[in-house]
Amino acid sequence: MRTSVTGHAVGSERHARLRERLRYALRTPAIGPLTALFIAVVVFWITTDTFLTPQNLSLVLQQSIVIGTLALGQSLIILTAGIDLSNGAIAVLGTIVMAKLAFEGGNPGVALLLGLAVATFLGLVNGLLVARLGLPPFIVTLGALTVVFAVSSLYSDSRSYQVTSDLLLFWGYGIQLGAMRLTWGTFLLVGLYGLFWYVLVNTAWGRHVYAVGDAPESARLIGIKVWSTVLSVYVTAGFLYGIAAWQALGRIANADPNAYQTANLESITAVVLGGTSLFGGRGSIIGTLIGALIVNVLRSGLTQAGIDSLYQDVATGTLVVVAVGVDQVLRRSGSR
């Protein structure tokens, strides 16, 4: 909120207030979503005898890899009070670039780098439009979604490409522990979340991300470069979408221009379930990972319990509304 009052006293008071708020935001643990996850697991453990098996749990992890990685980028953007509707489309274009180039006899390593570069570049374009031109993230990424989806169809000639290169399929390989299969992709997912949790909590950049989302004006007044922080977030997210594309090929050895049409909303669902505020500036990255897991635990568990897809959607949707309700309650009673 802008006030017409300026001056050092107000500046330093704001500074202190902002610091206090940040400290609180960073301390907010992912305890809510973790409890929900725990309840869900216990419920399915009681009501089915096939949910809590090593094989099924490792499958739930694998099912969370692509959306989990997309949700990580989405989390960063939502922390800056933005939103990204184009992440699924960007990842799909990434898969098409990687798979098509390799399919046409190109070097898989080059194909991979180009795929990552394209995704990162699209993040940069989104970021410039949002941070530099000040356009609303919703509008920018809605436009990007439409454009990128069409480009994927054009570039792929609207066909899907099978992938055989071991490098491109790498994240789908892994280790077998009895009935449990842990793919390298699972380790990467956990590793990425660990890395970003550390960066957000322990580096200046991480604190700046929280600050520009919570109160951009105050952040500007205490000398944070707001636009370059926001831009760096979109570029980072774009790169993560490229990684998600690589992960997706490991999961399904096929790049399909029609895939992941609902990944944008699913990644937002994971972020919201994880307790991150859509108003920016508050939330935890680990919460997002748990949010992604909750969605897939619900799907898997309800399937084991013999519930059809549509009822599963009812449960997931209800859960999201409850999570947002909790978020509102928290905002009213907490940081305002």
44-73 binders of another protein (CB under 8 A): 44, 46-51, 53, 55-56, 59, 62-63, 66
Binding residues for another protein, total number by CB under 8 A: 72
- What's the rounded Cα separation, in Å, for the pair 302 and 315? 9
Q: Smallest distance, Å, CB 172 to another protein?
A: 8
Q: Which residues have a Cβ under 8 Å from the Cβ of 302 and sit 6 or more positions away?
A: 311, 312, 315
326 touches another protein (CB under 8 A): yes
CA distances from 24 to 100, 217, 331 (A): 47, 19, 12
Q: Smallest distance, Å, CB 13 to another protein?
A: 9
Q: Which residues have a Cβ under 8 Å from the Cβ of 142 and sit 6 or more positions away?
A: 85, 86
Q: Which is nearer to another protein, 63 or 284 (CB)?
A: 63
Q: Which is nearer to another protein, 194 or 258 (CB)?
A: 258
164 touches another protein (CB under 8 A): no
10 touches another protein (CB under 8 A): no
Among residues 114, 201, 226, 253, the one that binds another protein under rule CB under 8 A: 253
Query: Which residues lie across from 161 on neighbouring strands?
Result: 255
311 touches another protein (CB under 8 A): yes
Strand intervals (E) in 180-327: 180-183, 254-255
Question: Given the rule CB under 8 A, which of 72-80, 112-120, 132-140, 325-333 is the region that contacts another protein?
Answer: 325-333
Question: Given the rule CB under 8 A, which of 109-117, 184-192, 225-233, 254-262 is the region that contacts another protein?
Answer: 254-262
Q: Smallest distance, Å, CB 91 to another protein?
A: 11
Among residues 10, 175, 177, 329, the one that binds another protein under rule CB under 8 A: 329
Residue type, 86: S
Interface with another protein in residues 259-278 (CB under 8 A): 259-262
Q: Using the 8-state DSSP alphabet, how is residue 162 labeled?
A: E
Strand intervals (E) in the chain: 161-162, 174-177, 180-183, 254-255
Q: Which residues have a Cβ under 8 Å from the Cβ of 237 and sit 6 or more positions away?
A: 73, 74, 76, 77, 84, 87, 123
Interface with another protein in residues 231-250 (CB under 8 A): 248
Q: Smallest distance, Å, CB 176 to another protein?
A: 12
The site string for another protein over 169-208 (x = CB under 8 A, - otherwise) reads ----------------------------------------
Q: Which residues have a Cβ under 8 Å from the Cβ of 24 and sit 6 or more positions away?
A: 334, 335
24 touches another protein (CB under 8 A): yes
Residue type, 306: G
Residue in this structure with the two tokens 């897809």, named with its chain if needed: 309
Q: Which is nearer to another protein, 18 or 79 (CB)?
A: 18
310 touches another protein (CB under 8 A): yes
CB atoms within 10 A of CB 187: 14
